[in-house]
Amino acid sequence: MGNISSAVIVAMAIFVLLVMISIIIGRNQKVSRLTEALDDFDDAPVSLDIKQLSPIAASLSGMLSSMGIDIDAEVKKSRLIMSRAGILSPDAPYYFLIMNRFLGYIIAIIGLLIFVFNSKAEGNAFLLYACSSGLIMVLGLFGARLYVANQTAKYREIMTDAFPDTMDLLLVCVESGLTIDAALARVCSELGRVYPHMTREFNNLRLELALTDRIQALQNMSERTDLPSIRALISSLIQTERFGTSLSESLSVLANEFRVTRLMEAEERAAKLSVKITLPLIIFLLPALVLMMLGPAIVQIAANGGIFGNRASVSEEE
């Protein structure tokens, strides 16, 4: 009997010890999860891509200054153009300036010299030199601008596609009682992998909100992106900052509006699809259809000696 009671006591002690261990482990896991959640919530990554100029960009800056160019004003304009194209490298404005002001003309002159020195060529060689020199001249004079314009169009499309989902999440955060700073932090932590470009812009906005005047920081984001959707959002945020209006109502109206806009754009693309597919159908399917319908007749006519084959054979017999 004593052995049984001691075994029961030992079993109960082991059971209580296991329960205590499981409670402690579960509590530690909950604490770690809450700590990670708070870290993601309060300390979402902020990056303004602040870097020092490379030695090459610094030397280009000195060269442009020695040419009499107002480097500060030109770099400010070029940086705005680069930011609207999604290029936030500090060296990019200097490369863009040196390409437009100096290097592009040198490349164009090289293309012109290639054409001049090979102008006496004949036939296909002359055509090859003329096309290559023309291509080099176009790339030298307009290559940088065309590249930036192409990147700007791609960046605007990416940001436009990302905005409705970002707007919905921002509205949910604001309606749950978060301030605008906390809502931006939450949006950045949730959408960092899905929409990295939009997250980068919001992270830059968060950093500017903490370091500069809030109204100016909002206006800077509007200028950097130059998108109608983001301008509408920034206008609502500025109105809330100045007059204390309800941010959730404004964001709700904007979210519904852009959701309808996205649906209308999808319907517009679907309506244009039938028109866009007409030319490929004509080019690729119509010849095959005509060949399939007229192929047997063409083969039979060719086997009989052509269209006038029978008539020619009758005249030979006579």
Same domain, 235 and 179: yes
Say how far apart CA 143 and CA 135 lie, in whole Å. Answer: 10
Count other Cβ atoms within 10 Å, centred on residue 195: 21
CB atoms within 10 A of CB 282: 10
Residue 52 · residue 211 · CB < 8 Å: no
Is residue 144 within 8 A of residue 100, CB to CB? The reply is yes
Nearest alpha carbon to residue 166 among 139, 146, 194: 194
Residue 66 in domain: yes
Same domain? For 162 and 148 the reply is no
Q: Is 54 helix (H, G, I), strand (E, B) or coil?
A: coil
Q: Are residues 139 and 164 in the same domain?
A: no
Whether 310 is in a domain gets the answer no
User: Quick one: 191 and 217 in the same domain?
Assistant: yes
Q: How many domains does the chain have?
A: 2
Give every residue of the chain whose pLDDT is below 70, as ranges: 1-52, 306-318
Note whether 128 and 219 are same-domain residues: no
Tally of CA atoms within 13 A in the half-sphere of 153 that contains its CB: 5
Tell me whether residue 296 is in a domain: no
Whole-angstrom distance, CA of residue 197 vs CA of residue 162? 9
Question: Of 132, 152, 172, which residue sits at a domain end?
Answer: 152
> What is the reported pLDDT for 151?
92
Taking only the tens place, the pLDDT of each residue in 3-14 is 444 444 445 555
Q: Which domain holds residue 247?
A: 158-269
Same-domain check for residues 261 and 174: yes
How far is residue 23's CA from residue 258's CA, in Å, rounded to a whole number? 48
Is the domain of 180 the same as that of 263? yes
| Closest to 232 (Cα-Cα) out of 254, 200, 211, 259 | 254
Judgement on whether residues 187 and 265 belong to the same structural domain of the protein: yes
Residue 38, pLDDT score: 41
Query: In terms of domains, do 172 and 125 share one?
Result: no
What phi and psi values does residue 85 have, to the nearest 5 degrees? Answer: -95, 0
Structure tokens at 165: 């989902």
- Among the candidates 243, 269, 295, a domain finishes at 269
Q: Is residue 177 part of a domain?
A: yes
Say what angle helices 180-191 and 124-175 make with each other, to 10 degrees.
130
The answer to whether position 263 is within a domain reads yes
Domain endpoint, select from 128, 152, 176: 152
CA distance 285 to 107: 44
140 and 195 part of one domain: no
Residues 135 and 171 grouped into a single domain: no
**What is the three-class DSSP state of 259?**
helix
- Identify whether 265 is part of a domain: yes
Same domain, 175 and 141: no
Reported as a single tens digit per residue, the pLDDT across 206-244 is 888 888 888 888 888 888 888 888 888 888 888 888 887
Whether 243 maps to a domain, the answer reads: yes
